[in-house]
Amino acid sequence: MGYWKGMLAGALIAALSGCAATGGQQPIRAEQIYADGLCGRTQTDAGARWIADPQQLETLRIQFGQYRLGPPELPEVDFDTRGVLLVLMGRRQTAGYGLALADGEAASLADGVATVAVEWREPDEGAMLAQVLTSPCIMVTLPKSGIERIDVVDQTGAVRVSVAP
């Protein structure tokens, strides 16, 4: 009987240690609601912005419309429980740049830090490209609850931008 209790206790400790080693990362639902190569931003550096209410989103939608034939259509967002993360690549001098939410489990939460994985596309060095100003961006909905900081990471795992909601 003592043998089995010891085995059970050992298995329990090993299981709990494994949970602690993962940092308590929990997947969270992230949904890309917008992506464009011309978001009309003049900033040259990458950036991120948290949009917490419908008025902020509408203002941004109208700003994006200044560079198009009218504002883009965006899906409804339940701002009671979710917010919108705007990720900006910054102004680029050529074509070939872009952003997209990564496939699979693109977002996770651990200790108040949400990590959002994106495909951060850049042209190959030396590639022949059109000389055109671009400013790629994406908008992603995330839950509001429990997030103190958001880190946006690229396909290599490097943090590109961070923002506090």
Q: Tens digit of pLDDT for each residue in 149-161? A: 999 999 999 999 9
Residue 130 near residue 92 (C-beta atoms within 8 A): no
Kindly give the pairing relationship between strand 107-110 and strand 113-121: antiparallel
Residue 116 located in a structural domain: yes
56: helix, strand or coil: helix
Residue 62 in domain: yes
- Asked if 163 contacts 61 with a C-beta cutoff of 8 angstroms, the reply is no
Burial (Cβ within 10 Å: 0-12, 13-18, ≥19) of residue 42? exposed
pLDDT (0 to 100) of residue 125: 84
d(C-alpha 4, C-alpha 66), whole Å: 70
The total number of structural domains in the chain stands at 1
- The reply to whether 12 falls in a domain is no
* Whole-structure pTM value: 0.80
- Would residue 37 count as lying in a domain? yes
Dist. CA 90–CA 134, nearest whole Å: 8
User: What is the rounded distance in angstroms from the CA atom of residue 129 to the CA atom of residue 21?
Assistant: 45
DSSP letter at 158 equals -
Is residue 17 one of the residues assigned to a domain?
no
pLDDT for position 12 = 35
Residue 1 lies in a domain: no
Range of the domain at 152: 25-163
Q: Would 20 be classed as within a structural domain?
A: no
Residue ranges of the chain with per-residue pLDDT less than 50:
1-21
Residue with tokens 């830090």: 113
Which of 97, 115, 98, 96 is closest to 107 using CA atoms? 115
Question: Does 158 fall in a domain?
Answer: yes
